[in-house]
Structure 1
């Protein structure tokens, strides 16, 4: 995390902001787990009046590293003070314009919420990564992946063979019990036909 030499003014402003800003409405549903979350546009619409009231604004920059999207959130105060988050890095899933756009939106949402200290989804959302750190996949995610593999398995393509092919497509060698939230989400995307596997 980077910050200006002094953060006295921005710290006070963020304190007031957090005490007044309501939680964004959870108007969207995670298609895999049916949990509720706030889409990016809902978050921005909710926070902007309260940011402005306390002399705050934000800026988000996006870069790429191979197949990964990196988003950094910069919080600014009218005093000139600032706090910049560490980059949040997420895999694109599909290396296409659509895949990149989806990853950018996802990363912007999590990075912004983490920087402002607001919650924008259900506590049990299996994709939670508000701190911008890769967390281990939840049991719910892993069980869902297992059920998808069972569903796709056949005499011609046994479950273990499908599992190994999935790992190969994801570019991982470690077992699914050690996958991160992002890796599990990518596996689900592939298995549900939104990724590379046919």
Structure 2
């Protein structure tokens, strides 16, 4: 039987004994320092709350700064895909076009995105969340009914709506709009209004409707504006929001 002997070099007299946590800082290091200073538990909790508030505010300021820099040189998102059915024809930007352009531009400023999707009471709700590397997040939410246009099955109806909502929540969260391609046979791209801003404006008005009569009137006025802007894609997204609002108002009556 053998015994291994491990020799430990003695600590020099008077040398401070430090922990890894203390060297790195953090809440435990702050608490240990506060205890040495004779502070109470309540005082230490107050210090930690103050630290959390300060860090949250610094993260928020960093997010605002990053978004400001992002918008100084925003990505260009072209409507490349043609959609045609039942006498309707328009160009739109695919989710892939939107996501790739925005994701790459956001990453340069330390911002990532993700979507949360919820299905409840026949409605689909999609939330786009932008998160800065320092931890601050902001979100945009839209909801709509399954897209029953064409000959889609149930799964395809839900997938179509999710795709619509993902595309528009990401555009709305970043304040960007898609752009018509220059080669449009001289037809122009509507009156040049920001499609994302126009959509957000009418979504706000639709959600503010207190009854079905007000909602129907809002839908009628919005239809005229979307037609003038020649923005069929935004009009389709708006109709899904109206359908969701109509279902909510109907449930209350």
- The answer, yes or no, to whether TM exceeds 0.5 is yes
- The alignment partner of 1:119 has SS state of coil
Q: 1:14 aligns with which of 63, 67, 70?
A: 67
Distance 1:46 1:11, change over 3 A: same
**Cα deviation digits, residues 23-78 of structure 1 (max 9, x gap):** 21211234364332211100111112211110000011100122211000111001
Q: Secondary structure at the match of 2:75?
A: coil
Q: Are residues 139 and 31 of structure 1, via their aligned partners in 2, closer, same or farther at CA, if it must alter by over 3 Å?
A: farther
Relative to structure 1, the CA distance from residue 88 to residue 59 in structure 2 (aligned partners, 3 Å threshold; closer, same or farther) is: same
Partner residue of 1:69?
Answer: 124
Q: Which structure 1 residue ranges, 5 or more long, are not aligned? A: 143-179, 187-198
Once superposed, which parts of structure 1, at least 4 consecutive aligned residues long, lie more than 6 Å away? none
Q: TM-score, normalised by structure 2?
A: 0.49
1:171 is matched with none
The structure richer in helix per residue is 2
Q: How far apart, CA to CA, are the structure 2 residues paired with 1:41 and 1:54?
A: 20
Once the two structures are TM-superposed, the CA of residue 10 in structure 1 deviates from its matched residue by: 0.7
After TM superposition, the score normalised by the length of structure 1 is 0.61
Deviates more, 1:52-61 or 1:18-27: 18-27
Gaps of 5+ in 2: 1-54, 181-188, 207-217, 228-236, 244-253
2:223 to 120, 138, 151: 138
